[in-house]
């Protein structure tokens, strides 16, 4: 089992192309080159595994924190609550989190064949449970739709002058006796995305932690941001289809060439690899 000697961290960062992005910075996008800023960008990842030649694939055990519960972690920030309640340390919804604390059964020695894989989304088994009775971070109202559809796996909300845009990723086509009841079987469109990123001997940052970057420009590629192009995971929504394609683009790269993806392990000349929507 994991112990304190094997406790490690994965540091995540957010960028717009090559520039670091946070609540205080802006970026320009679209044909009209509008200036946008983040109001909220949070997402759940689960089922994290790290693999190497010496140890094979090992599921990591997440440390218990307000941002992590069992095998699901909440990453990102809510810029509006972060500004309003910067001194409130009692509510996880008001804080930013850009790291994952974990342990592994044995020490993993990275080599050129190492990798990390995870799911963007909340596992079905806990996705539709009553959020009031769940432990943090699966109890945040801002990251939950209703029992029938479950959690918002990713919540991205942007604002410009007199305009807003949003992308809420989650399961759709969920069948139950009512909107306030959980489905007994998986939704028609689970909309969970699996990623596998190659790691290497130089994949740790100066702090000795694994480092992964989220490139917002790759997520929003070919999406013209406007109020009318917002997406709440509707299958027939043109913007949604493009956003899904951007997440799925990762599995189309067959070689080790440097091609950017939504998720990328830092210092690695490989493309992240995704899977199809379940």
What's the pTM value of the predicted model, to 2 decimals? 0.88
Quote the CA–CA distance of 202 and 20 in Å, as a whole number: 21
Average pLDDT over residues 197-203: 81
**pLDDT of 76 higher than 60:** yes
For the segment 82-119, what is each residue's pLDDT rounded down to a tens digit? 555 555 545 555 689 999 999 887 777 888 888 999 99
**Domain extent for 75:** 4-274
Closest CA to 146 of 87, 89, 187: 187
What's the total number of domains in the chain?
1
pLDDT for residue 254 is more than 50: no
Residues 131-166: tens digit of each pLDDT:
888 999 999 999 999 989 999 999 999 999 989 999
């Amino acid at each position: 089992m994991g112990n304190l000697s094997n406790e490690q961290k994965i540091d995540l960062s957010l960028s717009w192309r090559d520039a670091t992005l946070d609540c205080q910075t802006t970026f320009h996008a679209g044909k009209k080159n509008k200036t946008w800023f983040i109001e909220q960008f949070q997402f759940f990842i689960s089922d994290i595994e790290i693999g190497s030649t010496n140890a094979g694939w090992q599921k990591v055990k997440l440390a218990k924190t307000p941002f992590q519960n069992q095998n699901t972690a909440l990453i990102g920030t809510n810029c509006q609550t972060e500004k309003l309640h910067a001194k409130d340390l009692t509510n996880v919804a008001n804080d930013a989190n850009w790291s994952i604390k974990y342990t592994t059964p044995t020490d993993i020695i990275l080599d050129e064949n190492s990798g990390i894989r995870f799911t963007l989304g909340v596992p079905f088994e806990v996705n539709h449970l009553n959020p009031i009775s769940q432990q943090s971070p699966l109890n945040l109202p801002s990251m939950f739709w209703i029992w029938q559809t479950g959690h918002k796996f990713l919540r991205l909300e942007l604002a410009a002058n007199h305009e807003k845009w949003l992308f809420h990723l989650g399961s759709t086509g969920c069948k139950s006796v009512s909107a306030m009841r959980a489905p007994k079987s998986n939704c028609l469109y689970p909309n969970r995305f699996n990623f596998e990123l190659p790691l290497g001997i130089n994949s740790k940052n100066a702090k000795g932690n694994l480092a992964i970057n989220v490139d917002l420009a790759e997520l929003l590629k070919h999406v013209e941001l406007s109020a009318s192009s917002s997406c709440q995971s509707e299958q027939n929504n043109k913007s949604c289809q493009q956003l899904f394609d951007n997440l799925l683009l990762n599995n189309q790269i067959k070689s080790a060439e440097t091609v950017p993806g939504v998720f990328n392990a830092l210092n690695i000349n490989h493309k992240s690899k995704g899977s199809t929507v379940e």
